[in-house]
Every structure is written in C-alpha cells, then in structure tokens.
Amino acid sequence: MPCYVNFKGEKVVPVEEGQTILQASLAAGIPHYHACGGKGQCTTCRVLVLEGQEQLTPPTSYERAIKNVKKFPDNVRLACQSRVSGDGVEVQRLIKDETDRYILINDSEDSTRVMGERRKLALFFIDIRNFTPFIEASLPFDVIHIMRRIFAIFRNAITQYDGVIIETAGDGLYAVFGLNSKIKQAAESAVLAGLKILADLRIFNNTYMRPYFNHTFEVGIGVHVGKVIVGNVGIGLSNNLTVMGYPVNIAARLQAATRELDNSFVISELAFRLLKNPPYSMGCSYINLKGVSAAYEVRLIGKPYEIELPTIAPDAT
Ligand code: FES
C-alpha cells in the first residue's frame, strides 16, 4: 500500500515503498528540480518538511555533508535522499522556478547566510536625541565626523557584548543580541551594552563635545525580547541579516518612548525580569502600543534628560 505525501499548494502524490520523495513527485508530474539527477549533490530538489518529519528516513551521508556546509535547518531535506515510511508527510518545494533557483543556489554558496528561522532575541534600538540642532549649526565635515565618533561608541559597546548591528537609519541604529547565546544572556548583554554606551557618551561629551563644540548629545535606548524571524533577504546587494516581527516594533516603540518618559533607557518588564543582575531602576511606567489594549509595562533604567527635548507624537508602531 502506498503512502501519500502532500506537496503544499500542488498535489497529494502516492509514494511506493522504497521510492524517494523526488521519484514520487516526478512520477506524479510535478516539475521537481533535480539538477544532479538525484545524486545528493546539487540541492535543487530540497524541500521544507512541514509535517511528518518522523516518517522520513534519517539524512543520508550526502545530506549530512551538505547540511554541514550550507547550514540547512533540520526541516530542510533533499527530496532525492528522503524516503517515506508512513502517511502524514507534508512538504513544500523550495525551488519552483528559475528565480528561486538563482536566489537559493547563489545565496547558499555563502555558508554564513541564514535561510530564515524563528529565534528568541534581545532587540536593541538607539537614537541620538538632539542631533538636528547640531547639524544646523555645524559644517558638513564636522557633522559626519562627529556622527562617526558616536557610532563608533555604539558599535564598540554592541560588539563587545556580542551584539550584531542589523540596520542604521539616520542618527540611530538597531541591533540584536542572542544570535549565539540563550535569551537570558542576550537580555543581560543588551543592557550592559546600553549602559556602556551611556557611560562612554558621557565621557565623550565632557572631554570632546563640550570643550570643542559647546554641545552635548543624549540618546534614547529601548530594549525588548521576543521571538522574531531571522534571515538574509539581500540578493547580491547585502549579506546583512534581517530581523522581523512584532517584538521588533515594540522595541522601536520603547526607544521612541524615552522622550515621553524622560528617561534615556527604557526596557520592557519582560526583558527586565530576565536579568540576573538588574541595574538600578528609577521605577516602572506604562506605555500604549498600537493594537494592544492594555498599557505595556516598562522599566526606566537610564537617566532623566539634561536637555529639553522637543515633544514628538509616539510613532504608529
Ligand atoms: S537532485 Fe541534486 S541533490 Fe537532489
């Protein structure tokens, strides 16, 4: 009696005993890519296993070797190497046309690329608070030079605590912690990086900005933790990681809330509770988030601003 495999969005196909998924799909008329002819070498037959992974034979030596190089997650299998031993298997072909082939084969030549996975990370947003008045009063050279110095302070602290900068935008940036650690350590690292930035910026203000430019800078930092999707989206343009998900929006909102809460470092209660050695907190507060009926509890672990900041309406995150 044949088993059946559901090719998501395509068709349900019978698999005879001893047949691979690839042989079954080709027999059923699915145009399944198989550039090496089923020898376990090209990876064009790869499928994402959505259900019934336990009904598949264990990865062959070819699959294990390829997985080591290309860092496939466990639920990606080579259809030409996987045999089905029972019903309930659902798969999705990953390479369905030439564009898929171009994107996935070229990208996976680089073993550092992440195909897309859900991870629990600490999310860290930082923004320079009073940069616009400085831009308006300074020469372009000075603006870029000072920006570089401040971003060097950000980068040093973030990399010291094993964070990764995901994106810079204007006078702010977004980083994540926890790509190589558990979530408790990630939250701890994000907080330590933020506190180091505040301390280093204070020194920079006192020893450089105030004496040479008669100006000082403040920043706003927001930290939250949560499950997000991590992957490489850039197609030949950039190898940067992309991190997406609702927790990212919350972290951005916490950073923006530093203005209204008049505190330079705002962390969600959720992240704060993960800290083994929580820093002194000036108290807790509540902010409203779009789409969340109850107010969101946060901790204030920075300092009140020394300068008066223009009020900006909370963004629509
Ligand atoms: S067809 Fe080439 S690896 Fe499966």
Q: What is the DSSP string of 253-282?
A: HHHHHHHHTT-SEEEEHHHHTT-SSPPP--
Q: Name which residue sits closest to atom 3 of ligand 1, judged by CA.
A: 40
Element (H, E) at 20: none
Q: Look at residue 163 in the predicted model and tell me its pLDDT.
A: 96
| Per-residue pLDDT reduced to its tens digit, 226-285 | 999 988 776 554 557 889 999 999 999 999 999 999 999 999 999 999 999 888 877 888
Using the atom order of ligand 1, give the atom closest to the CA of residue 79: 4
Taking the CB of residue 100, how many other CB atoms lie within 10 A of it? 14
Q: Look at residue 316 in the predicted model and tell me its pLDDT.
A: 38
Using the atom order of ligand 1, give the atom closest to the CA of residue 43: 3
What is the CA(140)–ligand 1 centre distance, in A? 55
What residues have CB less than 8 Å from 123, skipping those under 6 apart? Answer: 174, 176, 190, 223, 224, 225, 226, 228, 243, 247, 248, 250, 251
Q: Look at residue 315 in the predicted model and tell me its pLDDT.
A: 44
Mutate to test the pocket of ligand 1, among 36, 61, 67 (most ligand atoms within 8 A of CB): 36
Please choose, from the candidates 245, 297, 288, 308, the residue with its C-alpha nearest in 3D space to the C-alpha of residue 270.
297
Mutate to test the pocket of ligand 1, among 25, 33, 66, 80 (most ligand atoms within 8 A of CB): 80
Using the atom order of ligand 1, give the atom closest to the CA of residue 34: 1
The fold of 3-107 is: Ubiquitin-like (UB roll) (3.10.20)
Any residues with Cβ below 6 Å from ligand 1, and which? 34-36, 38-45, 78, 80
Domain layout of the chain by residue ranges: 3-107, 117-300
What is the CA(20)–ligand 1 centre distance, in A? 11
Using the atom order of ligand 1, give the atom closest to the CA of residue 42: 2
CA dist 44 and 181 (Å) reads 32
What is the CA(36)–ligand 1 centre distance, in A? 5
Residue 267 to residues 88, 219, 251, 298, Cα–Cα distance (Å): 44, 14, 8, 6
Mutate to test the pocket of ligand 1, among 42, 62, 70, 105 (most ligand atoms within 8 A of CB): 42
Using the atom order of ligand 1, give the atom closest to the CA of residue 37: 1
Using the atom order of ligand 1, give the atom closest to the CA of residue 46: 4
What is the CA(39)–ligand 1 centre distance, in A? 5
The residues of the chain scoring below 70 in pLDDT are: 103-115, 234-239, 291, 308-317
CATH number for the domain formed by residue range(s) 117-300: 3.30.70.1230
What is the CA(46)–ligand 1 centre distance, in A? 7
**Structure tokens, 64:** 């294990």
Residue 138 to residues 134, 211, 252, Cα–Cα distance (Å): 6, 15, 28
